[in-house]
Chains A and B, each alone.
Chain A
Amino acid sequence: MKRTLLGALAVSTFLSPIAAAAQTEVQFWHAFTGRLGELVKAQVADFNASQSDYVVVESHKGNYSETLNAGIAAFRAGEQPHILMVFEVGTATMMAAEGAVRPVYEVMGESGATFDPDAYIGAVKGYYTSTDGDMLSLPFNSSTPVLWVNRDAMAAAGVDPDTDLSTWQNVGAVLDQLKAGGEDCPLVTAWQSWIHLENLSAYHDVPFASQDNGFAGLDTELMLNGEAQVAHLTAMGEWARDGKFIYTGRRNEGGANFRAGECALFTESSAGYAGIKSEAEFEFDVRPLPYWEGVGNSPQNTIIGGASLWVMSGHEADEYKGAGEFLSYLSSSDVQAKWHQDTGYLPITTEAGEATRASGFYDANPGTDIAVIQMTAKEPTANSKGLRLGSFDQIRGIIDEELEGIWSGDKTAQEAMDSAKERGDALLRRFETANN
């Protein structure tokens, strides 16, 4: 008995390194929890089951900022993962770190899998492409802000749920009616800087920052204190003061209020779909993000938010092959179409979008294609291609603080945005110094 046990132990000790060596491990760090976390786990499990050469190991590393910081700290310690999820705000930081990352077009090209840069949707790809036209990171989850409507709450306050909400002028009138109809929370938002400043600027074709929003160079300055932005924030500030716009926090805290049925209108990413669909016990629908009639060239197109996958440097060649295979798997049409339909994130390839349309998904789920249309309706201009600003996570923090100043009535919109510009520009200059 004892001998067989020892024998088994010896055999298993011999075997285990061989078993481990047969499959190359690829580390993948991401920021998803809840329903999205489950979907990512499923994608990874499917990939691992589909082939026997590589094992992708996924780990959750906290929210977007925490994941980026975990990746950076790990790189400094020489323990970086192969694939790191970085939100769009960290793009400029990653692009500037040439020695720390390997461009995905290179990695995917070397892996033997076919890589066709033209397969990806321009508005999504543009955000993550270098000035030479090379794709540096793989867009993973991209979304754009839309307007979510609680139809039951509208009806309860005596407002026709089918009222036209395409312009902020109309929304303003509806907010008055909702308030008069006894609604305590007419409008709530998630990601205030992203929706009410960054996308607002792109949607009205006005610059958010100089140098083509940072695409053309590091010597960029914020221009968010322009007329269009200040006018919008002034209106929002008045709504906040009158209790028509309820401020809940800097991230997507407002989602809880909306999903619980407490609010009538909610400006949030199109990717709010997964959560709203599973939790909302009321009739809801999706509308395009409103714009101000007569301001700038509205409606231009909105820009993306979300994250892309970066391949980090300093690993073995066969591990990069595995990473390339995994990224190719993720961008394959079936995987993308399923991801798009499950989450409300945009499909990253044209083919996946067409497959979704062909399957009849948009007809069965009205409104799910609004984000796609809103993003791709017009050819992007220099103001609506996206943003590429260094230290942008911190700048967003500054913008959040200044916006809170407007909501609480401490500052006028003009004062707050002038101050945001001054403080943000100081950080942009530091980023320029650090990366020269």
Chain B
Amino acid sequence: MEKRVTFRGWLLPLVLIAPQVVISLVFFFYPAGQAIWQSLFIPDPFGLSSQYVGLGNFEFLLNDKFYRAAFGTTAIFSILVTLCSMIPALFLAVIADRLIKGSGVYRTMLIWPYAVAPAVAGVLWLFMFNTRVGVISWYLGQLGYDWNHVLNGGEAMGLVVVASAWGRISYNFLFFFAALQAVPRSVIEAAAIDGARFWRRFWTIVLPLLSPTTFFLLVVNVVYSFFETFGVIHTITGGGPQQSTTILVYKVFSDGFVGQDLGSSSAQSVILLVVVGLLTIIQFKFIEKRVHY
């Protein structure tokens, strides 16, 4: 039977939720409302005057084939970043979980990259792959491969994905590692006695038991690749070559804060708000059903 603790009256509960409500209003609803309002205008950069254009900003955006292409780029980028940060993290966590001695050292070392800010990570990777002085691009040159992410869109995409996923592996590792520790030993031992080998146990017992963590990380990583990777993109490619690494959020940033086109930038934020809202609904409606708590 479900147990419920209820408050008497209205005042105390209202006071208790007030801080959260205020924070949401000030930091979420107010800016979101402003973005919607601003998306109806084309202001000049200094904020001295603005022209009402109705839905003109949206029309302008949807007629721009590079903006439409940015949706595809964002999808590819997010999927790759999520996969490249979750799969290695899970693998490392499983290995570290089997360690008997020295797991603390490995754990610390693996968590280290998380402390590096995205923009700094971007610069680090940029140095390694710099077409002129980069160590890795030099080795690739020795192997006969001419690395040039400045002109080659595929290479540029690969580089920003790796740079974005790299620091994220640590974060995911931490969660997977903690979740693995929580898998009941008795279940695994029982399976072992029944003759199931390591990978069999992993696929049929451990992975399903990890599903709440995996789902949580999936949501968090998709949000990360949508919103927090623009530092990496800004430092490595600036969205190029030919917009092949321009994801939606980067375009909001570059049109708004580099191009000073705040009308278009606001309209893009509104579109993004809708996209992320839809994605979250999809994730919770369809994927969460398959998660066992």
Contacts and interface: CB of A to CB of B under 8 A. Distances in A.
Interface of A: 65, 69, 72-73, 75-76, 93, 96-100, 247-250, 253, 256-257, 391, 393-394, 397, 400-402, 404-405, 407-408, 410, 423, 426-427, 430, 433-436
A65 B50 contact: no
Interface stretch (B30-38, B84-92, B111-119, B239-247): B239-247
A394 B51 contact: no
Q: Which residue among B47, B50, B254 has the maximum number of chain A CB atoms within 10 Å of its CB?
A: B47
Nearest to B43: A434
Contacts of A75: 46-47
Contact of A404 (B46, B132, B240): B240
Given A248-B131, A401-B240, A407-B151, A72 B46 contact: yes
Nearest to A416: B242
Contacts of A248: 131-132, 150
A408 B43 contact: no
B130 to A, nearest CB: 9
A65 B151 contact: no
A247 B48 contact: no
B241 A430 contact: no
Contact of B242 (A76, A393, A404): A404
Contacts of A402: 242
Contact of A257 (B132, B243, B257, B259): B132
B21 interface: no
Closest 5 CB pairs of A and B: A394-B259, A408-B151, A100-B46, A404-B241, A97-B46
Interface string B20-64: 000000000000000000000011111111110100000010001
A410 B243 CA distance: 13
A394 B42 contact: no
Interface residues of B, number: 33
B221 interface: no
A261 to B, nearest CB: 13
Given A393-B258, A430-B263, 15 more contacts: A76-B46, A248-B131, A253-B132, A257-B132, A393-B259, A394-B255, A401-B240, A405-B242, A408-B152, A427-B261, A430-B42, A434-B42, A434-B44, A434-B263, A435-B49
A249 B261 CA distance: 25
Given A257-B132, A426-B60, A433 B42 contact: yes
- The main secondary structure of chain A at its interface with chain B is helix
- The main secondary structure of chain B at its interface with chain A is loop
Interface of B: 42-51, 53, 60, 64, 66, 131-132, 150-152, 238, 240-243, 254-255, 257-261, 263-264
A337 B258 CA distance: 34
B36 to A, nearest CB: 19
Given A65-B258, A401-B241, A404-B241, A247 B46 contact: no
